[in-house]
Amino acid sequence: MSERAPEVVLARHGETEWSTQGRHTGRTDIPLTPAGEAQAAALPGMLGRWNFGLVLCSPLRRAQQTCALAGFRDRAHLRDDLMEWAYGDLEGHTLEEWHATHPGWDIWEQGCPGGETIEQVGDRADRVIAEISAAGVDTVVFAHGHLLRTLLVRWLGFPAKTARHFTMMTAAIGVLGRDRDDRVLERWNVSSAQI
């Protein structure tokens, strides 16, 4: 029997006040809510089957709290490339609020005024993928919704803007792997509530 290829587990941070309100939370460094802390504390039960050789984490507080509550604080390597999309002028706004003054605007096509384009987010995801691929070990990544969705589609070789077709709940995980020479999606948007 051949040896299993290394897997990559993507873990979104737990709930924050802004995530419950649908506010774009890029670089605003807010903490988890008590419910978000409980979500993060449930992650060890979901992550126990892996022996991670590499733990990567966004430096933003909500991701670091999730990483710590999942039991990986002492092993985490912080990477600026894992920070959430820099939303610029959109930061703190809901989509409904933004559309009231910018009708027809689409984040995936037009990016964020004063922030990043989706291609720039994709470039950051590509750098993270290069590090993971070079390590060649099971890896867990603690980060943010839009960033992790972008990392998924870049892993699969799709343009970054195809991340629009995936969603990810707070404290959910996705598992990336390989089938022979192909990078594949094994599981997506799995939460402790579903187990």
Report the C-alpha gap between 44 and 72 in whole angstroms. Answer: 9
Strand order in the sheet with 182-190: 76-78, 54-57, 139-143, 8-12, 173-179, 182-190
Active site residue 102: no
Could you confirm whether 109 is annotated as catalytic? no
Contact between residue 62 and residue 11 where contact means Cβ atoms under 8 Å apart: no
* Distance, CA of 101 to CA of 120 (rounded, Å): 25
Q: Which one of the listed residues 13, 24, 144, 146 is annotated catalytic?
A: 13
Q: Which residues pair with 175 in a beta bridge?
A: 9, 187
Catalytic residue among 84, 116, 144, 146: 84
153: helix, strand or coil: helix
Positions annotated as catalytic residues are: 13, 84
